[in-house]
Structure formats: structure tokens, C-alpha cells
Amino acid sequence: MSDDRTFVIIGASQAGGWVAQTLRNEGFEGKVILIGEEPYLPYERPPLSKAALLGEVTVDSTYFWQQEALDEANIEVRLNTRVTAIDRDAKEIEIEGGDRIAYDKLAITTGARVRKLPIEGADLPGVFYLRTMEDTLAIRAAVKDGATAMIVGGGWIGLECAATLTKLGCKSIVVEAADRLCGRAVTPEISDWMYKFHTEHGVDVRLSTGIEKFEGNGQLERVVLPGGDTIDCSIAVVGIGVIPNVELAQDAGLEIDNGIVVDECARTSDPDIVAAGDVTNHPNDLLGRRIRLESYENAQNQGITAGKAMLDKAEPYSEIPWFWSDQFDANLQMIGLPQDWDETATRGDEASNEFVTFYLKDGIIDGAISVNNPRDLRVGKRLMQGKKQVTAAELVDPETKMQALLKR
Ligand SMILES: Cc1cc2nc3c(=O)[nH]c(=O)nc-3n(C[C@H](O)[C@H](O)[C@H](O)COP(=O)(O)OP(=O)(O)OC[C@H]3O[C@@H](n4cnc5c(N)ncnc54)[C@H](O)[C@@H]3O)c2cc1C
């Protein structure tokens, strides 16, 4: 049966790519147009601060789908194309240059962009941000063995970058304005572990330290710290967070609140428009609150939910948030967004960099962070999902079989 509808997706990255694929997987036979401003097919961002920055993978190996697969699925991909407006009354979008494309249903998967550092010298060559493949290729081209790399921001991106640049032979210095690393995402104990771990791997971590300005004659040469001290460096990578790309949705009058407000099925306040990925503020039933996530798994699974919602096959999306990070030889994984736990339990050995810290609230796991122990974390996720009653003593006891706790 032929279908003459056109479904348009703005943002050709992970969430957008999954919306498009889901439409086809679910049997949609109309036109699917996936529009992205970047020059690449939808690609994975996690390698940008890891294997791709190390130069271990090629650009096209980061693509979720090669061009043939997109052709086979009859998905029309328009790259290097920026959408400038959404006209909800006419049900059209406008692209740079003025052309308009009509839609029957629209998905907004515009993700997020880096927060810029508003200080003098931030536009000098040698000062980088890290969000796109172009950023990674530019940093990689600028890295020289033995160079000093200043990393501004001790969050996930900053720490991954510090690890990778150290592996590439740089002397990495991380300056973090707060008094601990990754403060928005992890507990003080894990911040302490991160500090020790990075320091042991040769990273110079400076907490409670901001920077005043970048200096150099046509090229970054040094940073100036607030008291006037300077540090010579030839590269700086700024990782101080991202801003959701909500402007198109906002200008079109959709509801915005730290992201595009969607329901559990990724539907916006307009019945013909869905949104997914880093750009959304969505309800999470399991956590009992609304959240905006910057995570790989969310971009994929909410993208799938959004695709189904476009076909009126809406299925509520609610998962325990899961995130991972690779830094040196440590694989960190995190479940939940623990907020007001009353007890913690560390299983394994922090000193040997193999442990899981669980956060418990009223005897139920509210979240966990693992270092080189994904197995126990996975079971922890199932315990959390099933709201199983456990004690801290059981979790820390190496004799306890985690699987056995699931049988309760
Ligand atoms: C360096 C790095 C490392 C990461 N590592 C991890 C990790 O280890 N684990 C993890 O879980 N997550 C990680 N993430 C996060 C994960 O990659 C993101 O959550 C995911 O990419 C979000 O996908 P998205 O499709 O929602 O948004 P994005 O990936 O931001 O894609 C949005 C796309 O929309 C395009 N766009 C925006 N506006 C317009 C417009 N007006 N017109 C056309 N196109 C537009 C953008 O250019 C972009 O291509 C990492 C992210 C980065 C940057």
C-alpha cells in the first residue's frame, strides 16, 4: 500500500538516525527526509574523545549506517543543510537559502552544542571545543608529542580528553572551577577516586581553578590564571557543558523548559511534532521526575520511541539512565541519577580500580557507578528496576552472589 505522506527529521545524528530507521522498520512507506547541518552521515560521538581522537578509527567506521544501508531503506539524507525555521501553520520547514519542505509529521533531534567560554583569547587558533567530528579531526591535527594541553573543565568530556591526550604524548593539565571532578554527575567519593586515578596517570589536575584568559600571538601560547600566573600550552580543549538546541522549537512556539518538553512517548505540545535525544526534557517514570539526558542510550531509545509515535504506535519510554565513559584503562558505567540516597555500599576494591558503589534509598538501589566492573552493575540495574530490597552489608560482601539477590 503506498503512502504519500512526508516525514521530516531535523538533526541527522544518533536520535534522528534512529527515528528514520524506526519509521522504516515499522513499515512506513511514505517519504523520509533526514536533514543535518554536518557534512557526515549520522555518526557515533563517544569515539570523538576516545578512539577517534587517538586516531584508531576512520571517520566512516563511526557511522551508524553506511550510505548503502540508508539508500536501501530509502531514507533521503540531506547533509550540510541547516534548518532555519519551522512553520507549524503551513506544516513546512525552511532551510538556509529559503527553500521550504512540507511535512506531515516532524521530528526534532537537534541535540546540543557546546557552551562557549566567554573570555579573552578564546577564539585563538589552538583553543578547541569537542562536540563534532570536525572538532576531533582539528584537535588531532594540532596535537604534537610533548605538547602541553590545557583542558578547561573536569567533567566527562574533559577527563576523557585528558586521558586521550596524555596517551598521545601530551602533558595534560585539567583546570576545574569546582572543588571536585565531575561534580554534576558523580558523588564526592567518586570525584576523589577520579582525582587520584588521573593524577596517578600523570594528569595535572587543579581543582577550584578557573582561567582568566588565553594569550598568544596569532596562536595559543599560554593561559593566564586568576592571580596572574601563566602556563605555557599549545592546545586547549574547553569542556564546560552543552546547551540544548531548542531555538527552532522555541521560535515555533513549542513548550521549552531546559529542553523541548515531551511526554513519555516523545510527543511535543504539537500533535504532529515529536522530539528525541539530548534536546528533550522528558518524564522518567522510574525516577519519578523529568530529566534531560546527554547519553548514547537515551538518544537511540528515545529516537525509536519518537519514530513509533510518528506512526501513532506510541509506546511509553522509561528506562533507568545508563552512561559509560572510558578513561585510560578504566571503564566507568553509571546507572540512575542518584540524588537523595541514605546509604552507600562499595563492592570491590577502590584501590585496585575495580569496584561498584551503590546508592541506596530505603534499602532500594537508587543508582550506582562502576569502575571496571560492568557485570555487577548490570545486576544492580536489574535490582533497581525490580525495586528489590537489599542491604549495604549484602552488597559489600564478596560472598554475596549478586544474581541471588534478584530472586527475592
Ligand atoms: C565527545 C563526546 C563523547 C561522548 N561520549 C559518550 C559516552 O561515552 N557515553 C554516552 O552514553 N554518551 C556519550 N556522549 C553523548 C552522546 O554522544 C550524545 O548523547 C548523543 O550524541 C546525542 O545524540 P542526539 O542525536 O540527541 O544529538 P547530537 O548528537 O547532538 O546530534 C544533533 C544533530 O543535529 C544537528 N542540528 C542541530 N540543529 C540543526 C539545524 N537547525 N539544522 C540541521 N541540523 C541541525 C547537529 O549538527 C547534530 O548533528 C558523548 C558525546 C560527545 C560529544
* 386 domain residue, yes or no: yes
Quick one: pLDDT at residue 1?
53
Mean pLDDT over 162-186 rounds to 96
Which residues have a Cβ under 8 Å from the Cβ of 54 and sit 6 or more positions away? 164, 167, 168
Q: Are residues 77 and 223 in the same domain?
A: no
How many CB atoms are closer than 10 A to CB 239? 26
Q: Using the mean position of ligand 1's atoms as its centre, give its distance from the Cα of residue 46 in Å.
A: 9
Q: Whose CA is nearest to atom 50 of ligand 1?
A: 46
Give 347-383 pLDDT, tens digit per residue: 999 999 999 999 999 999 999 999 999 999 999 999 9
Q: Are residues 88 and 200 in the same domain?
A: no
Domain carrying residue 337: 329-406
- CA–CA separation, 126 and 149 (whole Å): 10
Number of H helices, E strands in the chain: 11, 26
The residue type found at 348 is: G
Report strand pairing: 222-224 vs 127-129.
unpaired
Q: Closest ligand 1 atom, CA of 45?
A: 17
Final residue of a structural domain among 238, 265, 280: 238
- CA–CA separation, 193 and 369 (whole Å): 12
Q: Report the DSSP beta bridge partners of residue 108.
A: 10, 275
With beta carbons less than 8 A apart as the criterion, state whether 272 and 107 touch: no
Q: Using the mean position of ligand 1's atoms as its centre, give its distance from the Cα of residue 179 in Å.
A: 28
Q: Are residues 57 and 103 in the same domain?
A: yes
Quick one: pLDDT at residue 339?
87
Q: Are residues 11 and 82 in the same domain?
A: yes
Best mutation site among 84, 110, 129 for ligand 1 pocket (most ligand atoms within 8 Å of CB): 110
- With the C-alpha atoms ordered 293, 296, 302, 306, is the resulting torsion angle positive or negative? positive
Q: Closest ligand 1 atom, CA of 293?
A: 19
Global pTM value: 0.97
Mean pLDDT over 18-47 rounds to 98
Q: Whose CA is nearest to atom 14 of ligand 1?
A: 46
Q: Closest ligand 1 atom, CA of 11?
A: 34
Q: Closest ligand 1 atom, CA of 278?
A: 26
Q: Closest ligand 1 atom, CA of 49?
A: 1
Collapsing DSSP to helix, strand or coil, 194 comes out as helix
* 317 domain residue, yes or no: no
Find the CATH number of the domain harbouring 359: 3.30.390.30
* 321 domain residue, yes or no: no
Q: Are residues 97 and 33 in the same domain?
A: yes
Quick one: pLDDT at residue 370?
98
Q: Using the mean position of ligand 1's atoms as its centre, give its distance from the Cα of residue 202 in Å.
A: 30
Q: Are residues 66 and 105 in the same domain?
A: yes
| Alpha-carbon torsion angle 194, 321, 339, 394, nearest 10 | -80
Q: Are residues 272 and 362 in the same domain?
A: no
* 318 domain residue, yes or no: no
**Is the pLDDT at 408 greater than 90, yes or no?**
no
Q: Closest ligand 1 atom, CA of 15?
A: 25
Confidence of residue 7 (pLDDT cuts 50, 70, 90): very high
Mean pLDDT over 273-291 rounds to 96
Best mutation site among 99, 109, 296 for ligand 1 pocket (most ligand atoms within 8 Å of CB): 296
Q: Report the DSSP beta bridge partners of residue 346.
A: 357
* 319 domain residue, yes or no: no
Q: Using the mean position of ligand 1's atoms as its centre, give its distance from the Cα of residue 278 in Å.
A: 7
Final residue of a structural domain among 250, 281, 310: 310
Give 284-294 pLDDT, tens digit per residue: 999 999 999 99
Q: Using the mean position of ligand 1's atoms as its centre, give its distance from the Cα of residue 103 in Å.
A: 24
Which residues are near ligand 1 (CB < 6 Å)?
10-16, 35-38, 45-46, 48-49, 82-83, 109-112, 130-131, 157, 245, 248, 277-279, 294-297, 299, 323-325
The stretches of 78-235 forming alpha helices (DSSP H) are 133-142, 156-167, 188-200
Please give the grid coordinates belonging to residue 300.
537511540
- CA–CA separation, 265 and 136 (whole Å): 34
Give 293-345 pLDDT, tens digit per residue: 999 999 999 999 999 999 999 999 989 999 999 999 999 999 999 988 999 99
Quick one: pLDDT at residue 320?
96
Q: Using the mean position of ligand 1's atoms as its centre, give its distance from the Cα of residue 344 in Å.
A: 32
Please give the grid coordinates belonging to residue 113.
552544542
Mean pLDDT over 267-281 rounds to 98
* 88 domain residue, yes or no: yes
| End-to-end C-alpha distance for the chain, whole angstroms | 50
Give 191-238 pLDDT, tens digit per residue: 999 999 999 999 999 999 999 999 999 999 999 999 999 999 999 999
Best mutation site among 8, 10, 13, 78 for ligand 1 pocket (most ligand atoms within 8 Å of CB): 13
The residue type found at 151 is: I
| Alpha-carbon torsion angle 167, 374, 14, 154, nearest 10 | -50
Quick one: pLDDT at residue 377?
97
C-alpha distances in angstroms, 284 versus 54, 242, 361, 363?
Answer: 36, 21, 18, 21
Q: Closest ligand 1 atom, CA of 14?
A: 25
Q: Closest ligand 1 atom, CA of 277?
A: 26
Q: Are residues 36 and 184 in the same domain?
A: no
- Considering its fold, how many domains does the chain have in total? 3
